[in-house]
Chains A and B, each alone.
Chain A
């Protein structure tokens, strides 16, 4: 009888063929990215993700779906360190992305140099949102420490926006009072007027705008404009403080994740597209201050003129500010009593 000695090996070949057939046909790819972002950027990335998907399909033929995760910037950074498989992070401040290096080596130490303008494709600042007619007569930071005034701001332990808020108030008080002690007393008095600490900026907006709590919301500028747009300029108004901080929310690819998932090229292209003409226009449309001169000129009238300082000028950078004010046992822990 004919020998079938080779039949087992032919069968292994059949198994291999079956495996090959199970793989999608070569050609169009479907790629999924996860963008872990801070709280108020939902609307921005709905617009941007749609634009990028169209751009990428036209360029490569591949379908890109970008899933979003939003929350307090610090909380989001912690989630990525703990294993959330973010292809890119678009967080509120550089310190939170530094933590991805410090605690998990998910990004290189010099991540901020990889994209223009310190990897911050747009900027924002901190303003005060009050109820229409400004019934409490709030004009500047000083008014926020008046007894009986209720201030809404998120928790600096979890929210990047909250940290920008805190540092803006601190620097104002330091310049006015002339010392760190004066600033500390000022910020302590301010937080005594805070009845609810949300974990993120969007939560605070919800507290102030939708739950009707508080007299003033210390807010991202883009978030304040969004509140006017969504809830009506007849409900709220923006009070521009005399001094505020230049907030530079940075973005980066999470190297360890994209290398594992094979999404490095498209993740890099996704962030680079934030700097494109369309990306900058989307930023401006969503009340972020664009970096490109053309978009900045287009949207200049939309943004108030404010005297701005940077975190480097006033605090020596995020690493120092984080350690001094927001680390466990830092100044915030000293002044805030739950």
Chain B
């Protein structure tokens, strides 16, 4: 009886236990399912958040593609469209000189001079159209203040790398040294060779790089300016000058060749001048003192032409530039005087060596590291040397130029040290010596005080170019 009772109780307990565990298992399954669903929901939420971030990032990237770009640096201030097809750039050049002359008997004042101070506005539109406007505020001469004016103003049209047009006022494509940027010449002042080539002129030119860029050609038609002169925005006669230049760099694409940096060419101009503006107002020394000028009554009447073989070679830190110019004009001593053809000649050879190992370049030396006293870096140093001479035609004397106040030749030499503190800032220290020769009929003592002794000029230039 008791056993049956216990068995019943046991059976009841057993049934209860089995039922509970089933309910427990069911409850666990339900919980698990709920947990799974919760995890799936959380996973979905996480994916949604990630996707929203992804879309935000895509929108930001798309916006960045169309946003204009502003850059400020060594190349100036540039504002460009996202696709770079349109841009406006502001650059500048300031050159402050200290000019000291010695052994000149006090004839030439020592002076500070603002040699150049210009803003350079450049821009590109629709990728292939460019412009440049350069107002000059600095004094061009140590002896005369210069009225601010427009140095360059031109438009460019790029058809292809082989054909580009430039229209307006810009450097006439004759002188190799003259064509080099005012910021990056070996010396503070260009050599006497640049006295015989046209400076800025108004006209139109076509140019391009052909034969895998080993030949650069330039051909143009200009108003025509005198030796070393800049156009005054008007032509004083009806005739125009034709100017052309071919410059070869035959091994430009031969990487590793010692002659990869060799370039040579020939340039020239041809035209007719009819007024006094066709001849130079005066040739100046490296120290910017007048060594020769025509009599004020002289006028031009006839053909003028120039020819200039030229050479530039760069090999690592070494640079060499050579140039010869022969400039011929036809002049009369007065409106009714006899016409005479005069040919003036000049040549120069310049060398440079970058002591700190950076490459010498026609486009300027870029220091590997900036001058930073704290960091112990010094920028780049370059030593330069030059010899040059200018010979005036003997037939210029005495009919067209006074024998008493002019030299008929000058031989110059220069030594210099350039310190490129950064790509933008440079200090140039130059010494120039000029020795004058005189026409046969010149007096024993020149009427021009500056010509009575050799010119010894010490010119230091502080430059900011960006």
Q: Which residues of A come within 8 Å of B, CB atoms?
A: 1, 4-5, 7-8, 11-12, 14-15, 18-19, 21-22, 150, 195-196, 198-199, 203, 207, 211-214
Contact assessment for A8 and B240 in the assembled complex, using a CB-CB cutoff below 8 Å: yes
The verdict on B230 contacting chain A, using a C-beta distance below 8 Å, is no
Bound-complex Cα distance A4 to B221 (A): 14
Per DSSP, chain B at the interface is strand
Rounded to whole Å, the gap between the CB of B302 and the closest CB of chain A is 8
CB <8 Å contact, A5 and B159: no
Is B245 an interface position by the 8 A CB rule? Answer: no
In-complex Cβ contact of B51 among A4, A14, A21, A207 (8 A): A207
Give me 5 other A-B pairs in contact (C-beta within 8 A), A4-B303, A211-B50 excluded: A7-B270, A8-B239, A8-B242, A15-B219, A22-B160
Within B49-72, the residues touching A (CB, 8 Å) are 50-52, 55, 59
Residues of B within 8 A of A213 (CB): 44, 47-48, 51
> Once the chains are docked, how many angstroms separate the CA of A1 from the CA of B330?
12
B residues near A (Cβ < 8 Å) are: 44, 47-48, 50-52, 55, 59, 159-160, 162-163, 204, 206, 208, 219, 221, 239-242, 270-272, 303
Which residues of A have CB within 8 Å of B208? 18
Q: Are A22 and B50 in contact (CB under 8 A)?
A: no
Complex interface: chain A residues within 8 A of B59 (CB): 199
The answer to whether B219 and A196 touch across the interface, beta carbons within 8 angstroms, is no
Q: Which residue of A lies closest to B41 (CB)?
A: A148
In the complex, are the beta carbons of B55 and A14 less than 8 A apart? no
Across the interface, B272 reaches (CB within 8 A) one of A5, A198, A199, namely A5
A195 to B204, CA, bound (A): 63
**Contacts of A15 on B, CB cut-off 8 Å?**
204, 206, 219, 221
Pairwise interchain contact B52-A196, C-beta atoms closer than 8 A: yes
Q: Which residues of A have CB within 8 Å of B48? A: 195-196, 213
Q: Are A19 and B51 in contact (CB under 8 A)?
A: no
Using known A-B contacts A196-B48, A213-B44, A213-B47, determine if residue A11 contacts B219 with beta carbons closer than 8 Å: yes
> Do A196 and B51 touch (CB < 8 A)?
yes
Query: With A8-B240, A14-B219 in contact, do A1 and B303 touch (Cβ < 8 Å)?
Result: yes
**Can you identify 20 A-B contacts, CB atoms within 8 angstroms?**
A1-B303, A4-B270, A5-B239, A5-B272, A7-B270, A8-B239, A8-B271, A15-B204, A18-B206, A18-B208, A19-B159, A22-B159, A150-B44, A196-B51, A196-B52, A198-B55, A199-B55, A203-B55, A207-B51, A213-B44
Closest partner residue, chain B, to A150 (CB atom): B44
Query: Chain B residue with minimal CB distance to A12?
Result: B221
Q: Please list the 3 inter-chain residue pairs (A to B) with the smallest Cβ-Cβ separation, ordered nearest first.
A: A22-B163, A8-B240, A195-B48
- Which residue of B59, B204, B208, B221 has the most chain A CB atoms within 10 A of its CB atom? B221
- With a cutoff of 8 Å between Cβ atoms, the chain B residues found around residue A214 in the complex are 44
Give the complex CA separation of A19 and B242 in angstroms. Answer: 17
Nearest residue (CB) in B for A206 is: B51
Among B47, B160, B162, B204, the residue within 8 A (CB) of A211 is B47
Across-interface contacts of B239 in A (CB, < 8 A)? 5, 8
Pick from A1, A18, A198, A199 the residue with the most CB of B within 10 Å: A18
Chain A residues with Cβ below 8 Å from B44 are 150, 195, 213-214
Closest to B54 in A: A211
Compute how far the CA of A8 lies from the CA of B44 in the bound complex, rounded to whole angstroms.
Answer: 78
In the complex, chain B residues whose CB is within 8 Å of the CB of A195: 44, 48
Is there contact, CB below 8 Å, between B55 and A196?
yes
Chain B residues within an 8 Å CB radius of A196: 48, 51-52, 55
A11 to B217, CA, bound (A): 14
Whose C-beta in chain B lies nearest to the C-beta of A212? B47
Tell me the bound Cα distance from A100 to B269 in angstroms.
55
The closest CB in chain B to the CB of A8 belongs to: B240
Q: Which residues of A contact B51 (CB under 8 A)?
A: 196, 207, 211, 213
Is there contact, CB below 8 Å, between B272 and A19?
Answer: no
A13–chain B nearest beta-carbon distance, Å: 11
Q: Which residues of B contact A207 (CB under 8 A)?
A: 51
Report the nearest A residue to B217, measured CB to CB.
A18
Contact A7 B242 (CB under 8 A): yes
**Cβ–Cβ contact B221 & A19, under 8 A:** no
Nearest Cβ distance between residue A150 and chain B, in whole angstroms?
Answer: 7
* B contact residues around A7 at 8 Å (CB): 242, 270
Q: Kindly list chain A residues whose C-beta atoms are within 8 Å of the C-beta of B159.
A: 19, 22
Closest to A155 in B: B55
Asked if A22 and B162 make an inter-chain contact with CB atoms under 8 angstroms apart, the answer reads yes
